[in-house]
Amino acid sequence: MKKSLFLLPLLAAAVTGCHSNSLKTADADGKPDLLHAALDTTVAPGDDFFTYANGTWLRNHPIPASESSWGIGKEVQNEVYARLRQTSIEAAKANATAGSNQQKIGDFWAVGMDSVKANQLGATPLKAELDGIAAMKTVAEVPSVIAHEIPLGVRALIGPVVYQDAKNSDQMALYLNQGGLGLPNRDYYFNTDSRTKNIRAEYLKHVANTFRLLGQDAATASTNATRVMALETTLAKSSRKLEALRDPYANYHKMSVAQLDKLMPGLNWKTWLGQLGAPALDSVIVGQPEFYQTAGQLLKTNPLDDWKAYLSWQLARTFAPTLSSAFVNENFHFYGTVLRGAKALRPRWKRVLDMQEDALGDALGQLFVKEYFKPEAKARYDTLVKNVVRAFAEHIQKVDWMSAPTKVVALDKLHKITPKVGYPNKWKDYSALKIDRTSLAENVMRANQWQYSYALNKLGKPVDRTEWDMTPQTYNAYYNSSNNEIVLPAAAFAVPGLLDADADDALVYGYAGASTIGHELTHGFDDEGSQFDAKGNLHEWWSKDDRKRFNQRVAGIVKQFNGYTLLDSLHINGKATAGENIADLGGIVISLDAFKKTQQYKEGKKINGLTPTQRYFLGYALGWQMHVRDESLASQLLTDVHSPAQYRVNGPMADVPAFYEAFGIKPGQKLYRPDSTRVVIW
């Protein structure tokens, strides 16, 4: 439904940086030159452009013990953290009006930072919910308990979400998707490599340890962990693989409530939807029917003790980060260290800020943009969007694989894409959300309930196409197929230590234009987004021959990325990552043509020995200036539709003729691909 980037790099410092970068060098005018400073000239650009562009920076910025990866995105986030932390501290000290955003920010922060209170409370904030699970007498009660837990943020067994109907974007619909797993996805339950087998063994220990923290003896905890693992493995068996989830038609099954009863007879859907708080619905959209068939069978065959263990585990797993240090440390050991490779727990204040962002993101956003995103910065990026759109239109007109009638429709869709830059025009109203200093866990529960009610209230209402799915302080961006829009939050236009005025166009067009604006625009025409029309409806608007020629090119990029091997034997999943790889390649070639219309490109002057075109490609690589621990990289390859950072640079560059020309890439160099094998889409 929505394409979000993995640590999306934008740049350009619309926000004044406070990070001291010891690697900065300056150009002839004395402006900092981050591109030149980051270079590792011991590496040939034709062998590994990612390392050539970023090697010195990476060498001087090791991954902190508390992180599973580190890069320019994390440094931008650090600056955002610093600002929001100060805002929260001031709010906690203020005698704010009850019910005001400042009171809620202050109270959330104060109780979140009170580790002594959290340790005294232990698992007490979960007691009422755990008692409700323990009080079940029959399996027939399981669905009602699940319906009670879902609004709290516990997504066990059933995965409801409110979103625009993919085939009628003017209506909101209730979707039911696969879910309910404690491991990241189905592959973790079945892959037989030693790395994944070890993760499964550690997961079983982790579940048992969590049960012991809830007060169970060792034998009971072990038995219940085994119950959880068995139930989740059965659910995983009926869950679709990562690449299969990217087919919008195959994951769209509109059903009446009566059809749902036949699909999953272990649950009375009309009654259950009422318990869920949903209004009377004529239909729902089921993503993966086979998953719900299995869920229904489990409700018929599995004993009550299995469900008590499973629901208790899902509850504890969800709220462990909000509880005492024993829960926090146990949760971090598995999800932070075993899965992601982090060596130390992140500082409490950062963890609290993350939860506060989830709970009160728009309240924080209003304060953020007022102080840190100025009108002149917004104007620059509004203009950049227009220039990249214009270049994309020229590319559509020139491609030789798309027929003239389809080009007309494609151009219409492109020009109807709504760009949202910086921040929304209206903010969420948190007046109905109660935040106090009782406990962090209860604040998170109430915030989850507020978000749930906010989403559920959209059913039966007109679609609000002005709404944002990200806050302006989020370092990320997305294309929304159903709204046919690109959304670019303010924080995405920040780079540590660089003022917007000091960022040359080459850097900005590579960093913001290619890796973000062009990338997101291209998502509207990738293997998934291209199946939605200008109004955001799932509808085939290409001719059969156009689709066939396009798919031939997609097959080329799938084959290219399938061929990349990491960590000795792991491969990128070319099919699962196809949409992102298409968007990376498209963003580069489209934004390059937009850059060619700038004064800097036309003058052709070098900066620190680098031509404007070289700086453009380096600007793009700057966006992926990051490195990742092996454990986190292995997890990404199994769970993420984005390729690892190194291949988001080297992969598309190997297909771009202008890159070969700019850096003199020759046969025999590692990135060199003969003309006949280079992927050309846009």
Q: Is the pLDDT of residue 209 over 60?
A: yes
Beta strand extents in 202-353 (DSSP E only):
253-256, 283-286
The helix or strand, by DSSP H or E, that contains position 652, with its residue range, turns out to be helix 645-653
Distance in Å from the first CA to the final CA of the chain: 23
Task: Identify the pLDDT of residue 435.
Answer: 98
Q: Quote the mean pLDDT of the chain.
A: 93
- Tens of pLDDT, residue by residue over 441-478, are 999 999 999 999 999 999 989 999 999 999 999 989 99
Task: Identify the pLDDT of residue 608.
Answer: 96
Query: In 3-state terms, what secondary structure has residue 331?
Result: helix
**Domains of the chain (ranges, CATH numbers):** 2-80+378-423+468-677 (3.40.390.10), 123-322 (1.10.1380.10)
| Residue from 319, 424, 322, 367 nearest 88 by CA | 367
Kindly state the tokens that stand for 277.
């708080």
CA–CA distance, 222 with 318 (Å, rounded to integer): 20
Cβ-proximal residues to 137 (8 Å cutoff; 6+ apart), any chain: 304
| Cβ–Cβ under 8 Å, residues 254 and 171 | no
Task: Identify the pLDDT of residue 630.
Answer: 97
- Tens of pLDDT, residue by residue over 168-189, are 999 999 999 999 999 999 999 9
Task: Identify the pLDDT of residue 18.
Answer: 29
Task: Identify the pLDDT of residue 9.
Answer: 27
pLDDT classification of 32: cutoffs 50, 70, 90: confident
Summarize the confidence of residues 91-95 as an average pLDDT: 95
Buried b (16+ CB within 10 A) or exposed e, 624-648: bbbbbbebbbbbbbbbbbbbbbbbb
Helix axes 404-415, 375-398, angle to 10 degrees: 170
| Helix (H) and strand (E) counts in the chain | 28, 14
CA–CA distance, 161 with 184 (Å, rounded to integer): 18
Kindly state the tokens that stand for 499.
């003022």
Helix axes 142-149, 304-319, angle to 10 degrees: 10
pLDDT classification of 374: cutoffs 50, 70, 90: confident
Q: Is the pLDDT of residue 538 over 70?
A: yes
Kindly state the tokens that stand for 583.
């968007």
| Residue from 382, 414, 383, 419 nearest 396 by CA | 414
Task: Identify the pLDDT of residue 22.
Answer: 35
Q: Is the pLDDT of residue 62 over 70?
A: yes
Torsion 501-505-507-513 (CA) sign: positive
DSSP letters, 440-504, are: HHHHHHHHHHHHHHHHHTTTTS---TT--SS-TT-S--EEETTTTEEEEEGGGG--TT--GGGS-
Cβ-proximal residues to 354 (8 Å cutoff; 6+ apart), any chain: none
pLDDT classification of 5: cutoffs 50, 70, 90: very low
> Global pTM?
0.92
